[in-house]
Amino acid sequence: MGGAARPADGQGGPAATGRGRLAGKVAIVTGAAHGIGRASVVLFAREGARVAAVDRDAEGLRRTVDEASGDGPVLPVVADLGRAEDPERAVAEAAARFGGVDVLFHNAGVMPEGNALTHAEADWDRAMDVNLKAIFRLARAAVPHMVVRGGGSIVTTASVMALRGHRDRLAYVASKHGVVGVTLALAADHAHQGIRANTICPGTIDTPMLHRVLDALPEAERPAARAGFAALHPLGTIGRPEDVAYAALYLASDEARFVTGAVLPVDGGYTSLIV
């Protein structure tokens, strides 16, 4: 939606033209310096989008832009989404550079450890600001641009922990449950404006977040721990960032024109199990 005229029922959108599944669209991707975010920037650009890549890691953003070079214009936006003013600034920079906003993919996240007895309040606040409140701030800035374009797509990254509990991840679990709730509320609030909102719940994905968990273990224990993560998923493997990026691509594209308020596990079957 947005950025190109909507196809009539039963007709193909941009994907049918051979110009790319996001041809003519402007996309904002947060958490773009690594992992799922980087894979999504590269894929979105390859599929014809002009992309604003947002992250606080300037060097990581540089590598993302280098990887996407040749596929389409990518604007690096250095921003800390835990700060009140940065989400609005990121959207404003994208709109100023590319002339509007059609897709918002909020993928940035932090995962502090702790339970009710051990969590530092600063870590709790950081998780809520980056994982959850940033969606509100980004949407508040992006939705008016989408309305002007005739619609748009909001995609968020939640987690399988948004559908389950987990030990020693109190703030992360709470914030990711909130991501699902906020996304469903956005879907309800803005459907009449042609704006869709959907969330993805990844299982264990081979990203820097997983590497930090493994690196905290003694080196001799890491292979077994990685194998243990893989065994949690009926498909018997850990996901790749591209697995989530392709789901985001679908939800961002006009192929998902009748999909809003969806909660999509990309988890190798993890949530199909009773644990």
Per-residue pLDDT of 131-174, as tens digits, reads 999 999 999 999 999 999 999 999 999 999 999 999 999 999 99
pLDDT digits (tens, 9 = 90+) for 205-222: 999 889 888 999 999 999
Residues 185 and 234 in one domain: no
Map residue 156 onto helix, strand or coil: strand
* pLDDT for the residue numbered 72: 86
Residues 101 and 221 in one domain: no
**Per-residue pLDDT for 13 more than 90?**
no
pLDDT digits (tens, 9 = 90+) for 246-274: 999 999 999 999 999 999 999 999 999 87
270 catalytic? Reply is: no
Using CA atoms, how far apart are residues 247 and 249, in angstroms rounded to an integer?
Answer: 5
Using CA atoms, how far apart are residues 228 and 242, in angstroms rounded to an integer?
Answer: 21
Residue 56 lies inside a defined structural domain of this protein: yes
Residue 104 lies inside a defined structural domain of this protein: yes
Residue 6 lies inside a defined structural domain of this protein: no
Using CA atoms, how far apart are residues 205 and 211, in angstroms rounded to an integer?
Answer: 10
The set of long-range contacts for 110-117, using a CB threshold of 8 Å and a minimum separation of 24, is 110/172, 111/169, 111/172, 111/209, 112/169, 112/171, 112/172, 113/168, 113/169, 114/168, 114/169, 114/170, 114/171, 115/167, 115/168, 115/170, 116/170
Residue 166 lies inside a defined structural domain of this protein: yes
Residues in contact with 262: Cβ distance below 8 Å, sequence separation at least 6, in sequence order = 198, 199, 251
How many C-beta atoms lie closer than 10 Å to residue 242's C-beta? Answer: 16
Note whether 71 and 45 are within 8 A (CB).
yes
Helix, strand, coil percentages in the chain from 3-state DSSP, rounded to 5: 50, 15, 35
Query: What is the pTM assigned to this prediction?
Result: 0.91
Residue 18 lies inside a defined structural domain of this protein: yes
Residues 39 and 171 in one domain: yes
Residue 1 lies inside a defined structural domain of this protein: no
Percent of the chain with pLDDT over 70: 93
Total structural domains within the chain: 2
Q: 43: domain CATH number?
A: 3.40.50.720
Residues 159 and 212 in one domain: no
Q: Closest by alpha carbon to 126, among 172, 179, 61, 57?
A: 172
Query: Looking at 172, 246, 250, 270, which residue is catalytic?
Result: 172
Residues in contact with 258: Cβ distance below 8 Å, sequence separation at least 6, in sequence order = none
| Local confidence band at 275 (pLDDT 50, 70, 90 cut-offs) | low
| Local confidence band at 100 (pLDDT 50, 70, 90 cut-offs) | very high
